[in-house]
């Protein structure tokens, strides 16, 4: 495996969504009848007999809800109403969560208990109240005694093509962005803050409190590893993340949500989501977190035909979901509908060694070799010999593969399995250490 990533230039010239006037005005949709929020804790691990969070509990908009006062896992209700159901939920790759569904009442009451907490702009406050904001702020990177983060990059671009959530909030919520930047500086003690944007989107943002850095408009120029290399002159080595080099990435949506929360004293609960229709046209909607994606689809008068696909995220890296009841989550930036005729068919045809994936790969990985090991489930070999961990998840290899091999899905699964094996190994080592002590 190479010790450090190296980068090529994809010759495909796929550019990020131009920020047009039609995307500057959000589409208003009817309030959801119910929302579903994920508590990031397995249902089976909770003592429900003693839980403060229970079915029938009446809640207010913006209220923090946890199973006990000292539990780190919590949700923030995005509506006023009563808890209708609490159930186990299996997320991507078998991750166990708890799904809490809240039925909306006719009259809204706002919980403003964050107002008092907001006076103490500290990490402790952020961890207690701001972990579940739209945009998924990475506060965990600052927890612990060791101050390893030296710089923050706010990504004002979106992670996929056709997606416009971050670009929307940067263009439309400049004052919240400014308050959010001030807040993250104070909370983290990090003074070096960059705002990464396309060159044509920088106008009028000189005063927000961050240094503007330009991002390449050609996909995947806005992915963190490429911003690290192109704008900060730092190469993230294989298997490492920007935070290992002292750089934390926040989405612009998260920073705006932080700003909104401090400016109003009420926790931000509204997600900005790009809706991408079957013909590729887009609109921006603002919905309470937990809104079923079906509400957004219905609002746009889309008829779902048999074998049409609903995707959370954009065309290169989004993930298919199987139910219109699936909720908008804290990291949902787009809902895309693909008509069955447009869905690239995956196949079990063998690789024909055309080399298209190798030419497209901006990380210069020998993808044609990598995929052979991934298909065989030899993930450690794929990492050791064929740079699995140099991949930064752009999906270009799958996009160009004429044999329709689901390369990107193999890559995701391979990385997940390797991480799981490493965690299990570390856990076993710790158990042995504790037994020996």
Binding site for ligand SF4 (CB under 6 A): 351-357, 360-363, 365, 367-368, 371, 391-397, 400-403, 405, 407-408, 411
CA-to-CA distance for 36 and 353, rounded, in angstroms? 45
Q: How far is the CB of 314 from ligand SF4 (least distance, A)?
A: 14
DSSP state of 32: P
Question: 28 Cβ partners below 8 Å, 6+ apart?
Answer: 286
What secondary structure does DSSP assign to 74-133, as a single string? -EE-SSSEEEEEEEEEE-GGG-EEEEEEEEEPSS--B--THHHHTTS-SHHHHHHHSTTS
Which C-beta is closer to ligand SF4: that of 177 or that of 365? 365
Q: How far is the CB of 87 from ligand SF4 (least distance, A)?
A: 34
Q: How far is the CB of 389 from ligand SF4 (least distance, A)?
A: 10
CA-to-CA distance for 90 and 5, rounded, in angstroms? 33
Which C-beta is closer to ligand SF4: that of 27 or that of 364? 364
Which C-beta is closer to ligand SF4: that of 3 or that of 47? 3
> In whole angstroms, how far apart are CA 107 and each of 82, 101, 114, 255, 268?
12, 18, 21, 29, 19
Question: 25 Cβ partners below 8 Å, 6+ apart?
Answer: 284
Q: How far is the CB of 220 from ligand SF4 (least distance, A)?
A: 7
Q: How far is the CB of 362 from ligand SF4 (least distance, A)?
A: 6
Question: 407 Cβ partners below 8 Å, 6+ apart?
Answer: 357, 367, 371, 374, 397, 398, 401
Which C-beta is closer to ligand SF4: that of 74 or that of 408? 408
Which C-beta is closer to ligand SF4: that of 162 or that of 169? 162
Q: How far is the CB of 368 from ligand SF4 (least distance, A)?
A: 4
Which C-beta is closer to ligand SF4: that of 228 or that of 357? 357
The residues with which 97 forms a beta bridge, in sequence order, are 89
**Residue 230 near residue 8, CB atoms below 8 Å:** no
User: Hey, is 322 helix, strand or coil?
Assistant: coil
Q: How far is the CB of 232 from ligand SF4 (least distance, A)?
A: 19
Which C-beta is closer to ligand SF4: that of 289 or that of 407? 407
Which C-beta is closer to ligand SF4: that of 201 or that of 225? 225
> In whole angstroms, how far apart are CA 217 and each of 239, 329, 398?
26, 27, 21
| Burial of 279: CB neighbours in 10 Å, binned 0-12, 13-18, 19+ | exposed
CA-to-CA distance for 127 and 142, rounded, in angstroms? 10
Which C-beta is closer to ligand SF4: that of 255 or that of 383? 383
Q: How far is the CB of 333 from ligand SF4 (least distance, A)?
A: 19
Question: 377 Cβ partners below 8 Å, 6+ apart?
Answer: 417
Q: How far is the CB of 97 from ligand SF4 (least distance, A)?
A: 26
Which tokens is 337 given?
Answer: 């509908």
């Amino acid at each position: 495996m190479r010790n450090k990533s190296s980068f090529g230039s994809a010759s495909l010239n796929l550019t990020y969504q131009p920020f047009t006037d039609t995307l500057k005005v959000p589409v208003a949709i009817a309030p959801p009848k119910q929302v579903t929020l994920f508590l990031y804790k397995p249902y089976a691990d909770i003592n429900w007999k003693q839980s403060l969070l229970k079915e029938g509990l009446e809640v207010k908009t913006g209220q923090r809800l946890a199973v006990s006062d000292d539990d780190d896992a919590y949700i923030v209700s995005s509506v006023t109403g009563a808890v209708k159901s609490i159930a186990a939920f299996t997320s991507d790759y078998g991750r166990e969560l708890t799904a809490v569904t809240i039925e909306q009442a006719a009259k809204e009451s706002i919980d403003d208990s964050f107002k008092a907490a907001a006076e103490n702009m500290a990490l402790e406050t952020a961890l207690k109240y701001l972990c579940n904001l739209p945009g998924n702020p990475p506060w965990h990177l600052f927890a612990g005694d060791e101050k390893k983060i030296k710089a923050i990059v706010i990504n004002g671009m979106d992670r996929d093509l056709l997606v416009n959530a971050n670009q929307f909030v940067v263009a439309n919520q400049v004052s919240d962005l400014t308050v959010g930047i001030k807040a993250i500086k104070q909370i983290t003690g990090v003074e070096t803050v960059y705002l990464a944007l396309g060159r044509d989107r920088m106008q009028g943002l000189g005063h927000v409190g961050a240094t503007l850095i330009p991002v390449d408009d050609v996909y995947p120029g806005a992915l963190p590893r490429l911003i690290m290399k192109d704008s900060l002159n730092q190469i993230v080595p294989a298997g490492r993340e920007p935070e290992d080099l002292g750089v934390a990435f926040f989405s612009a949506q998260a920073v705006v949500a932080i700003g909104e929360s401090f400016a109003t004293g009420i926790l931000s609960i509204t997600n900005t989501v790009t809706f991408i229709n079957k013909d590729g046209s887009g609109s921006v909607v603002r919905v309470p977190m937990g809104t079923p994606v079906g509400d957004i689809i219905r609002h746009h008068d889309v008829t779902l035909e048999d074998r049409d696909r609903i995707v959370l995220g954009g065309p290169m890296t989004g993930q298919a979901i199987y139910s219109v009841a699936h909720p908008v989550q804290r990291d949902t930036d787009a809902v895309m509908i693909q008509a069955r005729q447009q869905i690239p068919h995956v196949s079990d045809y063998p690789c024909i060694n055309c080399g298209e994936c190798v030419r497209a790969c901006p990380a210069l990985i020998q993808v044609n070799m990598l995929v052979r090991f991934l298909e065989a489930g030899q993930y450690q070999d794929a990492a050791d010999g064929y740079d699995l961990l140099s991949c930064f998840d752009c999906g270009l290899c799958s996009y160009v593969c004429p044999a329709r091999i689901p390369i990107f899905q193999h890559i995701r699964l391979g990385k997940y399995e390797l991480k799981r094996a490493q965690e299990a190994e570390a856990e076993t080592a710790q158990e042995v250490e504790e037994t020996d002590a």
